[in-house]
Amino acid sequence: EVQLVESGGGLVQPGGSLRLSCAASGFSLSSYEMNWVRQAPGQGLEWVSSIWSSGSPLNYAESVQGRFTISRDSAKNSLYLQMNSLRTEDTAVYYCASLSLGRAWELPDYWGLGTLVTVSS
Amino acid sequence: DVVMTQSPLSLPVTLGQPASISCRSSQSLVYSDGNTYLNWFQQRPGQSPRRLIYQVSHRDSGVPDRFSGSGSGTDFTLKISRVEAEDVGVYYCMQGIHRRTFGQGTKVEIK
């Protein structure tokens, strides 16, 4: 059974850092493009970042460019999002997701349950 | 960046009646491989999103056939032929030709 389990969320002060993890099971995460998506309280979905199966390029939304870094560890079958210089507007539930487009070489659509990041003083 | 615009943002519907959601992109979603990369997602209250439709009109496994997607180029539509109570939630379109962008979401509720 395929599962994506996010962790690492919590309360952090503005300007602080946090590292989110997404542990995958049932497939090899490094074989596919993977994404981070966030959803601020009561708001819509916002794509944050992606990493291709080849490891590059690394893509980021303008709102997080230069502050967030996506990475993965094949041995741990995990995806990460290092978040630095956090702002109050980064408060959201962060999802790990495949966001696949239905192409033959892609995963089906998978999402984790999300992890809540709250940036507040 | 590709901007996705949905309408309406709120859609009260009567059980058993049809519903239609529009999604427009700021540029054509036809990719160089000839495919059109437009997905539809459903997010029920308290749940993670799930994909309903990919490449405009292909339903995902397990998605009821009352859901259908259509459109081309920059104009797309998600239709629910007869709304059921379990269809309450927020629906998002998403483009996949340049990174990913979601529409603002359309909240479907029962009248």
pLDDT exceeds 90 at position A53: no
For B99, which of A47, A112, A113 is closest by C-beta distance? A47
- What is the nearest CA distance from A47 to chain B, expressed in angstroms? 6
**A112–B contact, CB cutoff 8 A:** yes
Query: At residue A77, does pLDDT exceed 90?
Result: yes
Task: Read off the pLDDT band of A17 (50, 70, 90).
Answer: very high
Strands B101-102 and B50-54: unpaired
Query: Mind listing the pLDDT tens digit for each residue in A94-116?
Result: 999 999 999 988 989 999 999 99
Q: What is the pLDDT of residue A79?
A: 97
pLDDT at A38: 98
Nearest to B100 among A44, A47, A108 (CB): A47
What is the pLDDT at residue B78?
98
Q: What is the pLDDT of residues B14-50, one digit of tens each?
A: 999 999 999 999 999 999 999 999 999 999 999 999 9
- Region of A16 please: left (phi>0), alpha (psi -120 to 50) or beta: beta
- Cβ burial of A10 (10 Å; 0-12, 13-18, 19+) is exposed
Task: Tell me whether residues A45 and B39 touch, CB distance under 8 A.
Answer: no
| Residue B99 confidence class, pLDDT cut points 50, 70, 90 | very high
- Assign residue A50 a region (left: φ > 0; alpha: ψ between -120 and 50; beta: otherwise): beta
In the prediction, which pLDDT does B51 show? Answer: 98
Band of the pLDDT at A55, cuts 50, 70, 90? Answer: confident
For residue A118, name the pLDDT band (cuts at 50, 70, 90). Answer: very high
CB of B103 within 8 A of CB of B7?
no
Mutate which of A45, A48, A100 to test chain B, going by most B C-beta atoms within 10 A? A45
Say which amino acid occupies A21.
S
B105 → closest Cβ in A44, A62, A95? A44
Chosen from A22, A50, A99 to mutate, greatest number of chain B CBs within 10 A: A99
pLDDT of A56: 84
pLDDT at position A57 is 84
Using one digit for the tens of pLDDT, what is the confidence trace for B71-83? 999 999 999 999 9
pLDDT at A10 over 90: yes
Q: How far is A114 from chain B (nearest CA, A)?
A: 8
Highest mean pLDDT among A32-41, A49-58, A103-112: A32-41
B94 and A99 within 8 Å at the Cβ level: the answer is yes
pLDDT reported for residue B62: 96
Beta carbons within 8 Å of B64's beta carbon, 6+ residues apart: none
Closest CB from B48, B55, B105 relative to A95: B48
